[in-house]
Amino acid sequence: MLKKVVFAGTQTPSFAQGSAALEALAGLTISTKQVERITEKIGRERLEQRDRAVEDFRKLPLMTRCESPIPLAPDLAVVEMDGGRLQILDRRAEASDPVADEDDEPEPEVRRGHWREDKIGVLMTMTSTVSADDPCPEIPEHFVDPTRILKLTREIKGSVSIGDDDVNMSSESTEDDPVPAADFTPRPRVRTMVATRGKAKQFGLILACAAYVRGFAAARRKAFVADGAATNWTTHKQWFSDYTPILDFIHALTYVFASAMAGRSFRAGWEAYIVWIQQVWSGRVEDVITALEARQSELGTPTKDDPEKSPRRVVAEALNYLRNNAARMRYPDYRKAGLPITSSHMESTVKLFNRRLKGTEKFWSEEGAEAILQLRADYLSETEPLEEYWKDREANATGRRPYRRSG
């Protein structure tokens, strides 16, 4: 019965729907509160297991961490990370907010009401072909489709200013309009998910532990793919420095598109975008940086009084983004090596987590959020960690019912 309760509590959008699902599918009449309590209890047990494994990994000698604990290491190992959003309402946690460690890096977490960030990672073994030449020197058509690109940019960056031309653009979501997979794109084989509400330093350790368990250290090819957030690349430097660092091409595209449109008509901006995005695709990022520097000189340096979407500020942000990430944008080399150049699997993973955790009517305590994040990661992982957990739990069961002591 515990398996059914936890499955319903983890998979359905809410505990109430989980209770209804148990009654409809399994004939079990269990209150919503009981589903919540059992799910959180099992989640805490899984967190204890995770933390023990992470602590054991942390104590390993450095040379041991560079070896594979499994006999067959993967050929291509890929690690991606990003953040989702959920609402936290936990007055006890707010009142006793722990003091950060001295070596903790400051994490600029945007606090809009109760919205907070969770950190999510996906670890994949993948299959791909290594080529002597670039398998796709010309940028695919879907990256130069104006309707698709405007939708994609608005989904990632929010509103994007475009010129007032006679161009009919839709602003519908791209969720049902996926980017076609090219022949050179690596295919995922087995995926493992991890997640936490903890700080970036803790998350990096959890992610590194999960990679070690799967033998990623001994993989022949290794890639770390993420957007340009500083936290991502701090994690890469600390735990995955021998992985090829790759800036997600889609995020780079959104900055190039926004800066091409800044202060121009749509037609003029689109002409600039076509040239610039081909240069980025071809690994000639310095050419785009030079063009943006010239554009910045035309518009002038942004001031503190400029609005967020002013052309000067948009171009300055794009310049800063490309300069900071130019070394991670050697896309022709990555394609030849059979490495992924987008974090599309990470984006879809965040959506799968958000489906269970995110909602205007959903509020979590810190303890409850951490438990459900762990169980959601377990449920979505194709390595099926919960199956091993249930076997161990059954083997270690004593038959005694635990009671709380009173007084």
pLDDT at 153: 86
* CA 196 vs CA 121, 149, 396: distances in Å: 9, 32, 27
* CA 182 vs CA 124, 345, 404: distances in Å: 18, 15, 58
pLDDT of 355-406, one tens digit each?
Answer: 989 988 889 999 999 999 999 999 999 999 999 898 888 887 766 665 555 5
Per this entry, what is the length of the chain?
A: 407
Q: How far apart are CA 28 and CA 275, in angstroms?
A: 61
Which single residue is written with the structure tokens 């879907």? 142
* Amino acid present at 33: K
pTM, rounded to two decimals: 0.86
pLDDT at 242: 96
Q: How far apart are CA 2 and CA 39, in angstroms?
A: 9
* CA 302 vs CA 297, 305, 311, 315, 316: distances in Å: 10, 8, 9, 9, 7
pLDDT at 175: 43
| Closest alpha carbon to 143 in 133, 152, 135, 155 | 152
pLDDT of 76-86, one tens digit each?
Answer: 999 999 999 99
Q: Tell me: pLDDT of 57 over 90.
A: yes
Q: Average pLDDT of 81-107? A: 65
Report CA torsion sign: 245, 248, 254, 256.
Answer: positive
* Structure-token pair, residue 126: 């993948």
* Amino acid present at 187: R
* Structure-token pair, residue 230: 């500083």
Q: Tell me: pLDDT of 159 over 80.
A: no
* Amino acid present at 232: N
pLDDT of 114-148, one tens digit each?
Answer: 899 999 999 999 999 999 999 999 999 999 999 89
pLDDT at 38: 86
Contacts 24+ apart (CB under 8 A), 362-366: 362/14, 362/86, 362/87, 363/87, 363/88, 363/89, 363/114, 364/86, 364/87, 364/88, 364/89, 364/90, 365/88, 365/89, 365/90, 365/92, 365/93, 366/88, 366/90, 366/93, 366/197
Q: How far apart are CA 27 and CA 20, in angstroms?
A: 10
* CA 316 vs CA 129, 262, 298: distances in Å: 38, 11, 12
* CB within 8 Å of 68: residues ≥ 6 apart: 215, 216, 217, 218
| Closest alpha carbon to 314 in 272, 280, 274, 284 | 272
Secondary structure of residue 210 in the 3-state scheme: helix
Whole-number percent of the chain with pLDDT over 90 = 65
Instruction: State the chain's mean pLDDT as an integer.
Output: 86
H/E stretch holding 193:
strand 187-196
* Amino acid present at 374: Q
